[in-house]
């Protein structure tokens, strides 16, 4: 089993997953610096809106890469796992939101 994907779909999905992780980690880095917070403004809503869309696209591309090109790399599996976690976050977050 390889680490990096070889197909174009696989590379795009891994790239989008890396972009997702960069968006989320940038928000939390700004939060540690005290520049943003969950309560003030709509930065968290904007961050989640963009990041979730990016990761769902990456999840779909990962599944397409596995089915069409028979891609079996570690980063594709990681992209699928993160995609499943994001989808679960969407469903479970709407159950416990108090706005």
What is the tens place of the pLDDT at every residue in 31-63? 999 888 877 878 888 898 899 999 999 999 999
Residue 59 falls inside a structural domain: yes
Residue 2 falls inside a structural domain: no
Residue 1 falls inside a structural domain: no
Between CA 85 and CA 14 the distance in angstroms is 16
**Across 1-10, 12-21, 35-44, least confident range:** 35-44
Residue 3 falls inside a structural domain: no
Give residue 88's pLDDT: 92
Angle at 84 between CA 28 and CA 45, to 5 degrees: 35
Q: Are 6 and 73 in contact (CB under 8 A)?
A: yes
Bridge-partner residues for 2, per DSSP? 73
Domain extent for 44: 8-96
Give me the number of domains the chain comprises. Answer: 1
Among candidate residues 58, 52, 63, 57, the one with its CA nearest the CA of residue 91 = 52
- The pTM for the full model equals 0.87
Residue 68 falls inside a structural domain: yes
């Amino acid at each position: 089993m390889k680490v990096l994907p070889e197909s174009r779909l696989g590379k795009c999905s891994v790239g989008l997953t890396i972009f997702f992780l960069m968006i989320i980690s940038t928000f939390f880095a700004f939060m540690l610096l005290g520049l943003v917070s969950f309560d003030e403004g709509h930065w968290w809503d904007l961050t989640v809106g963009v990041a979730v869309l990016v990761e769902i696209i990456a999840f779909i591309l990962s599944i397409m890469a596995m089915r069409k090109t028979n891609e079996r790399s570690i980063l594709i599996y990681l992209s699928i796992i993160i995609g499943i976690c994001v989808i679960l976050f969407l469903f479970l977050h709407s159950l416990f939101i108090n706005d």
